[in-house]
């Protein structure tokens, strides 16, 4: 009898325990707190960072590498010499052409050129004749006026004006041509200068000079290396300008109408997840790209504050900002129940919960702005997936 009594007591205790567990499972609910924060509405695009101002520098002629004046990672200034070839034949050619130019100038100086001061002259005889003719016509016009012949006098006075104009032209200086021997000497100087410039240009091909400020990313050549006619044009030094970084991606035709030049973008990087970089939309293609029936448009975002942590080619995601709300009440979309016209949430009040109607604002797909119905710090219930009555709010 005692054994049966003990068994009954044990069954009752187990029943109480299981009942309590069942009750706790039905009453325990996950909650989240209503918080304040910033809400950004945007369009996301994926792509890679690119430093568009970069170049592979090479020599313009064959020869042996004489000097490399930079290392990988060096910060370079524009017009800085980076490498040189040993090209004695080109240097000798420049020296020879310089000597020829100097000789041509010397021959020019030995002519009358340095002492040719009568470059301008005046035609005095023609000037005197024109003035004399004008004086004769003035005297004749005066006689006609005395006789009352006004019309004839006016004709003579017009002729006087023409004579004075001619005298003025003849009195002006005119350039006297240099003698032919001097002109030939000048031509020889010009020809020698042109040949010298060509020789200098050929010699310049043996030197690599930085075309802009940047960072050396690769040095492919070695000192003492012989570059042939087949290899001298290969990249020798790679230079990149890190002051400008862009990101390119594609935007679906459904969203492209909402994107405009100058819009802000928040950029996150796979390699630097804790770092967010600001940018602006600087290019939107007018031509669409069609892939598997989907039309998209190339869009470029230029980063506003590039820094040394960023690298060319890094994977990135940009959220182009369409709208932004700062310091607003936020709740996860998963807690919202009801419909778009009549949304509600379950709010914890003491040890109970109550259904409460709320007014909602913008949503980024994960969180939604609360305009009224909740206070900061309140706890709202997260429904189980099977309890979601209105899935469009779910994130």
Please check whether residue 285 is in contact with residue 321, taking contact to mean a CB–CB distance below 8 angstroms. no
pLDDT value of residue 119: 52
Domain locations in the chain?
Answer: 31-39+326-393, 44-51+243-324, 54-85+216-240, 117-177
What is the spatial distance between Cα 175 and Cα 184, in angstroms, rounded to a whole number?
18
Four-way CATH pick for 31-39+326-393: 2.40.420.20, 2.40.50.140, 2.30.30.100, 3.40.50.720: 2.40.420.20
**Superfamily for the 44-51+243-324 domain:** Efflux pump adaptor protein, beta barrel domain (2.40.30.170)
Please check whether residue 56 is in contact with residue 235, taking contact to mean a CB–CB distance below 8 angstroms. yes
To the nearest 10°, the Cα dihedral for 76, 79, 82, 85? 180
Whole-structure pTM value? 0.59
pLDDT value of residue 23: 36
pLDDT value of residue 108: 85
Q: What is the CA radius of gyration of the chain?
A: 46
pLDDT value of residue 132: 77
pLDDT value of residue 174: 57
Write out residues in the chain with pLDDT < 50, as ranges: 1-27, 386-395
Please check whether residue 127 is in contact with residue 167, taking contact to mean a CB–CB distance below 8 angstroms. yes
């Amino acid at each position: 009898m005692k054994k049966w009594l003990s068994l009954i007591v044990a069954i009752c205790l187990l029943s109480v325990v299981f009942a309590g567990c069942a009750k706790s499972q039905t009453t325990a609910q996950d909650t989240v707190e209503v918080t304040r924060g910033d809400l950004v509405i945007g369009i996301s695009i994926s792509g890679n960072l690119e430093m568009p101002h970069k170049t592979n520098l090479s020599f313009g002629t064959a020869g042996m590498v004489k000097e490399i004046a930079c290392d990988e990672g060096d910060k370079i200034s524009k017009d800085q010499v980076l490498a040189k070839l040993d090209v004695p034949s080109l240097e000798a050619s420049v020296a020879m052409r310089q000597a020829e130019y100097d000789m041509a100038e010397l021959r020019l100086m030995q002519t009358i050129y340095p002492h040719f001061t009568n470059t301008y002259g005046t035609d005095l005889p023609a000037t005197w004749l024109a003035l004399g003719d004008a004086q004769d016509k003035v005297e004749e016009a005066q006689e006609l006026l005395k006789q009352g012949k006004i019309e004839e006098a006016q004709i003579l006075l017009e002729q006087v004006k023409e004579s004075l104009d001619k005298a003025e032209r003849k009195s002006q200086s005119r350039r006297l041509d240099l003698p032919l021997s001097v002109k030939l000497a000048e031509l020889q100087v010009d020809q020698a200068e042109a040949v010298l410039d060509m020789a200098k240009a050929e010699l310049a091909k043996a030197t690599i000079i930085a075309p802009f400020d940047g960072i050396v990313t690769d040095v492919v050549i070695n000192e003492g290396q012989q570059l042939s006619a087949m290899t001298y044009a290969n990249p020798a030094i790679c230079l990149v300008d890190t002051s400008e970084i862009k990101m390119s991606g594609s935007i679906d035709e459904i969203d492209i109408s909402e994107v405009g030049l100058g819009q802000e973008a928040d950029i996150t990087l796979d390699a630097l997840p804790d770092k967010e970089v600001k940018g602006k939309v600087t290019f939107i293609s007018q031509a669409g790209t069609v892939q598997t029936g989907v039309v998209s448009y190339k869009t470029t975002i230029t980063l506003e504050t590039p820094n040394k942590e960023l690298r060319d080619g890094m994977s990135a995601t940009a959220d182009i900002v369409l709208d932004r709300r700062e310091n607003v009440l936020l709740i996860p979309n998963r807690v919202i129940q009801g419909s778009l016209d009549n949304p509600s949430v379950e709010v914890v009040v003491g040890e109970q919960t109550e259904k409460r109607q709320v007014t909602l604002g913008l949503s980024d797909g994960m969180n939604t702005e609360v305009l009224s119905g909740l206070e900061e710090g309140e706890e709202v219930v997260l429904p189980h997936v099977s309890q979601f009555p209105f899935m469009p709010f779910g994130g």
